[in-house]
Structure 1
């Protein structure tokens, strides 16, 4: 008998879910999501792998998926604990024959998968390719020959026809008769509601955009964006600091798998069929290819994505200044626009692409801080966090990634004049009029700065 464990992880949807489609062909099935206890431990970069706003967004999505699975006769077991220990114990308890996982390039998922293979050598492992637009087999080059820059990658793959045929699951096999062992710390509906409500109450005065986790919310945003004229002017407004329709805002739902990259690609194609192709719609497609490139880059370079030197031959000339980093995290730098951007990210879990570039450039160039601290801080706070995109973009800014120009340095005065000339964005996000004018409280020879 085929007894299947489906590890739900960044594929939190019913529609166009190839992993769920494969699971539907089993004879018995258990669906499991893990809230890994390691996410809430401070790492070497003084950050958490999962911040409060990200957790709320995830829990909302798990709650929605659980409800949708119940309609198909299944149940989502949401377990708090160590991923390897929990998944291995479930394999043992139910004598699992098949383990289904959506394949992703993250080192965290790779290591867990490798450990499970060692612990369960007789279990059939199915790694389903659906997190990227193209499968590895469809790429016109071997992974080792991935182009060294995004522009070269785009030229090669732009002509590829992406498979946007989507799947739907209408029924799922039965669950196991035996109840899940009591040793697992399962988060039921009551616990999840408490977690979500706690975060909302704690931040009830929050301004800015609100993202609700879940497949339905993601699908509604997909429909809303492509049913208006916004895609036709995307290229002209994409660099603005504020404005809901200045970008699709789909990244959060896309990176958690509430919607699929194929669904987004399908919406771009449908919009172009109705309204014609334009520079803006092509720019939206190129954004998907930018995301695609960093996924395959992560597959290729693996742990180099997180290393200080990255892809460069020498390490960057930065260090770690605790006081400066703390001021950056707390929006207390001498740069008002940077402080405003940091405040928006801290309070909402979101920041525009231009805002992300500005604060990253400030950390690396003005503050001379090890870029990995900024990347880890983003990981904690961004609700649309994706390992390949986040760490790849930080390497790009720091000059240790795929940027052929060797990094990016944004002139903060010029950025302010271009993107917030009247201070409207700063008026929203600066908490007080007082601006700090010094970075350090002591000089290089340890004298107090007056």
Structure 2
């Protein structure tokens, strides 16, 4: 068997701290980096597509950036057309005279099924779990024994005093297989989109483009001043670039890893001293780990109407859902949030909780429809995190209080006391 490796990039669009890629490079005498072009998004059961063009553009930027990084190291990215992935990869292996496919392991059922179809087609596939801060081997328990609430999960990690592994440098890349030639021209950069000056994540600006280069620059800038130290106090802000980290879009596409952020927190601790801001950021990285491992534990249960509760399906109020999507609920705070989401593809964590609660409890809507609307719009859509948060608010996930119903008037008084956010998003 040839020691050629075909590396399949999915949601890990980076060279640094990519253990699966590093393993493939160490095993191979030749490496073919490949990915699939973003597919035309299918419709959801609620009649809208699963992916907004904003997120597709952000992903294409990351692919172009990845191709650039590979070419700087003597390689290149082969982009395959969306469609029958098993057939396309099988054809490549035949052209190569054999080899093994290496890829990131999947957390959610849909991603896992995608990889299983490759195995079912008889393709040799090795996967590595690498999307989280902690690998399963570093956890003080089996992933199947994950506690059903976050606090015991966090406490067990703290008691065991486990630490994430250090992030890996970019690997030395083996040459392209001699039987194939890379495309002469690099991937084209997607055309820039018009932006909105109100956007908290201004994806139209070069410093907020998709890809690991922009992610690394943002990571460095964010830890270069007092933002990190004050993060716990500012994280519930509603608008602006600096109130939160804005790492999530790059985390979602894998242009930035959780371990790289953790390492930056530790360097900041060493240089500036321990502080609540970076401590809280690490807690939020643990929440992300928790939702990814929860998907691994429960799979399709987390995508059913009853979630972990398993009760009867609730179809919700279609009219209320439409009004919520169109920012016509009549609640000024909720409608402001829905306008921001629709206009920019981003929403603060606080506003995500508020509008989710409003749909479920005030509008009688189906939580799954709300999760799908977020999937459609969010630049930083992460299926495990999005699903975990909606289940939590709806009381069908891991919230020990059985759901979170927010009083929007009190939320407005506390987080938008002067009405600046509502005024900013009063109209598109």
Shared topology, TM-score over 0.5? yes
Name which of 347, 352, 372 aligns with 2:368.
372
Residue matched to 1:342? 338
Q: Which of 387-396 and 27-36 deviates more?
A: 27-36
Residue matched to 2:79? 78
Distance change >3 Å, CA 393–CA 406, structure 1 → 2: same
Work out whether residues 86 and 121 of structure 2, in 8 Å CA contact, stay in contact via their aligned partners in 1: no
Distance change >3 Å, CA 162–CA 204, structure 1 → 2: closer
- Distance in structure 2 (CA, Å) of the matches to 1:213 and 1:430: 29
Residue matched to 2:238? 241
TM-superposition CA deviations, 1:240-269 (whole Å, max 9, x none) = 111322111111111211111111010111
Residue matched to 1:391? 387
Work out whether residues 9 and 101 of structure 1, in 8 Å CA contact, stay in contact via their aligned partners in 2: yes
SS at match of 2:37: strand
| TM alignment of 1:293-332, pairs within 5 A | 293-315=290-312, 318-332=314-328
Work out whether residues 46 and 373 of structure 1, in 8 Å CA contact, stay in contact via their aligned partners in 2: no
| CA apart distance, 1:165 | 4.3
- Distance in structure 1 (CA, Å) of the matches to 2:381 and 2:296: 17
Residue matched to 2:118? 116
Work out whether residues 311 and 400 of structure 1, in 8 Å CA contact, stay in contact via their aligned partners in 2: yes
Work out whether residues 24 and 173 of structure 1, in 8 Å CA contact, stay in contact via their aligned partners in 2: no
- Distance in structure 1 (CA, Å) of the matches to 2:357 and 2:251: 26
Residue matched to 1:444? none
Residue matched to 1:440? none
TM-superposition CA deviations, 1:35-76 (whole Å, max 9, x none) = 353x51102233323211111110111111111111122121
- Distance in structure 1 (CA, Å) of the matches to 2:378 and 2:87: 27
Residue matched to 2:93? 91
Work out whether residues 207 and 347 of structure 1, in 8 Å CA contact, stay in contact via their aligned partners in 2: no
Unmatched 5+ residue regions in structure 1?
A: 181-185, 433-450
- Distance in structure 1 (CA, Å) of the matches to 2:92 and 2:338: 41
Residue matched to 1:35? 37
Work out whether residues 18 and 167 of structure 1, in 8 Å CA contact, stay in contact via their aligned partners in 2: no
- Distance in structure 2 (CA, Å) of the matches to 1:132 and 1:346: 29
1:262 pairs with 2:259: yes
Residue matched to 2:171? 169
- Distance in structure 2 (CA, Å) of the matches to 1:72 and 1:101: 20
In the TM superposition, structure 1's runs of 4+ consecutive aligned residues that sit over 3 Å from their partners are 203-207
SS at match of 1:151: helix
- Distance in structure 1 (CA, Å) of the matches to 2:324 and 2:93: 45
TM-superposition CA deviations, 1:130-153 (whole Å, max 9, x none) = 211111121111122111100010
Name which of 212, 215, 220 aligns with 1:215.
212
- Distance in structure 2 (CA, Å) of the matches to 1:176 and 1:110: 32
Residue matched to 1:69? 70
Distance change >3 Å, CA 402–CA 257, structure 1 → 2: same
| CA apart distance, 1:276 | 1.6
SS at match of 2:320: helix
TM-score (norm 2): 0.92
Q: Which of 234-243 and 395-404 deviates more?
A: 234-243
Residue matched to 1:381? 377
Work out whether residues 349 and 381 of structure 1, in 8 Å CA contact, stay in contact via their aligned partners in 2: yes
Residue matched to 1:155? 155
| CA apart distance, 1:163 | 0.9
Residue matched to 1:446? none
Residue matched to 1:3? 4
Residue matched to 2:205? none
| CA apart distance, 1:179 | 5.6
- Distance in structure 2 (CA, Å) of the matches to 1:68 and 1:50: 26
SS at match of 2:138: coil
1:288 pairs with 2:311: no
Work out whether residues 96 and 177 of structure 2, in 8 Å CA contact, stay in contact via their aligned partners in 1: no
- Distance in structure 2 (CA, Å) of the matches to 1:75 and 1:178: 11
Unmatched 5+ residue regions in structure 2?
A: 203-207
Kindly tell me the number of residue pairs found equivalent between the two proteins: 416
Residue matched to 1:130? 130
Work out whether residues 96 and 179 of structure 2, in 8 Å CA contact, stay in contact via their aligned partners in 1: no
TM-score (norm 1): 0.88
- Distance in structure 2 (CA, Å) of the matches to 1:104 and 1:345: 27
Work out whether residues 30 and 176 of structure 1, in 8 Å CA contact, stay in contact via their aligned partners in 2: no
Residue matched to 1:426? 422
Q: Which of 165-174 and 409-418 deviates more?
A: 165-174
SS at match of 1:166: coil
